[in-house]
Amino acid sequence: MPTSRSDVVWRTTLLGVAFLTTIVAANWAIGEFGLVPVGFGLVAPAGVAFAGLAFTLRDLLHDASGRRAVLVAILVGAGLSFAVAPPAVALASGLAFGLSEAADMAVYTPLRHRRWLLAVGLSNVAGLIVDSVLFLWIAFGSLEFLPGQIVGKTWMTLLALAVLITLRRRRMVTA
């Protein structure tokens, strides 16, 4: 069944707001809560869960409205983050999300029409590694929390994939 223009606008708006919210919330949480446990005795900056969810939302926004919408959302999210987070965190977040978008798209784009869930999962892994390394290095000048970042973001990727699988089985989401 064809999708109406209003459905596309509604979906793009909803996903764009959700994606922006995760970016801003991730940066706010870091300034507000510092480090949090993520399992296995590891810790990560508190925004790790929000940032991990952002990778899946980024893929969904890309499908709904294209790469340009994702890039605009990253820029807007970075700009808004300056109002709620330390400047170094906001700057690091914007740069890391922007550059990790390239890694995400390199994996996601060629796979998305053939194996959508695999594309989401693998692109999240590529994006979260690039994002984690860049963010930690730019914001803190250290990769001390890299294992925690990767574990925390992987938890969110697994959760997001579980939700997407459930929604696909109920035919509430398509790719």
Question: pLDDT, tens digit, for every residue of 13-31?
Answer: 999 999 999 999 999 999 8
CATH of the domain at 147: 1.10.1760
Q: How many domains does the chain have?
A: 1
The answer to whether position 174 is within a domain reads: no
The closest of 96, 174, 102 to 135, measured between CA atoms, is 96
Residue type at position 94: G
| Per-residue model confidence (pLDDT) at position 66 | 87
CA angle 169, 172, 175 (to 5 degrees): 85
DSSP classification of residue 3 = P
This prediction has a pTM of 0.88
The answer to whether position 127 is within a domain reads: yes
Q: How many CB atoms lie within 10 A of CB 100?
A: 26
Q: Point out the residues of the chain with pLDDT beneath 70.
A: 1-3, 172-175
Q: How far is CA 80 from CA 46, 90, 97, in A?
A: 18, 8, 14
Domain that holds residue 126: 5-169
The answer to whether position 175 is within a domain reads: no
| Per-residue model confidence (pLDDT) at position 1 | 44
- Lookup: tokens for 155: 């938890």
The answer to whether position 32 is within a domain reads: yes
The answer to whether position 130 is within a domain reads: yes
Segment 51-62, tens digit of pLDDT: 999 999 999 998
